[in-house]
Amino acid sequence: MENFKVLLVDDEANVLNALRRSLRKEPYQLYLAQGPEEALDILKDQEIDLVISDHLMTAMDGLTFLKMVKNLYPQVIRIILTGHADLQIAIEAINEGEVFKFLTKPWNDIELKMTLKNIFDFIELRRENQVLLDTVQKQQMFIDKMESDHPGIFEVKRDQKGAIVLDEDFGEL
């Protein structure tokens, strides 16, 4: 698995340290930010794959922060982590912040690790799909150019029985 970059955002240092301990043996590069401003600075400098943000922070709530991340870095997957599970916040997080997952504190280490594995599997599939899409688009551009340069080159001629005719003059030789 690729070395994915995870940004952990919480205004409490002990929570950041606990998350780091939970994920220390995982094959991810971890970045820690004690608040949204510090997190935005990291996002400017690093190509982050996943942001896990606390919801209740002093400078800015996690939902507002994740909406900013969505607008500035739409490719970054977003998770909200909160100790105050509220259905309305969860609905808003999913609908407005397009949050991939809503986790509660205290988190279950196994659930957290499985969530990250699933997210990174999803990211890998998304990247592979983009490579395939790019390849198909290049092939279509090539076909369009060939058809433009040599009209009818991709036309297949068939006889009355449906067999492919390779050369109309072939039978006359």
Over residues 165-170, the mean pLDDT reads 67
Contacts (Cβ under 8 Å, ≥6 apart) of 147: 153, 154
CB contact at 8 A, 36 and 9? yes
pLDDT in tens, 24-39: 999 999 999 999 999 9
* pLDDT recorded at residue 166: 78
Mean pLDDT, range 122-130, rounded to an integer: 93
Write down the pLDDT at residue 69.
Answer: 95
- Adjacent-strand bridge partners of 30: 6
Domain 5-128: give its CATH code. Answer: 3.40.50.2300
pLDDT tens per residue, range 34-61: 999 999 999 999 999 999 999 888 888 8
Dist. CA 23–CA 137, nearest whole Å: 39
Domain ranges of the chain: 5-128
pTM: 0.76
User: How far is the C-alpha of 163 from the C-alpha of 140, rounded, in Å?
Assistant: 26
Per the model's pLDDT, the better-predicted residue between 136 and 100 turns out to be: 136
Gap between the Cα atoms of 31 and 5, Å rounded: 7
The whole-angstrom separation of Cα 101 and Cα 156 is: 51
Chain segment 81-95, per-residue pLDDT in tens: 887 766 677 677 676
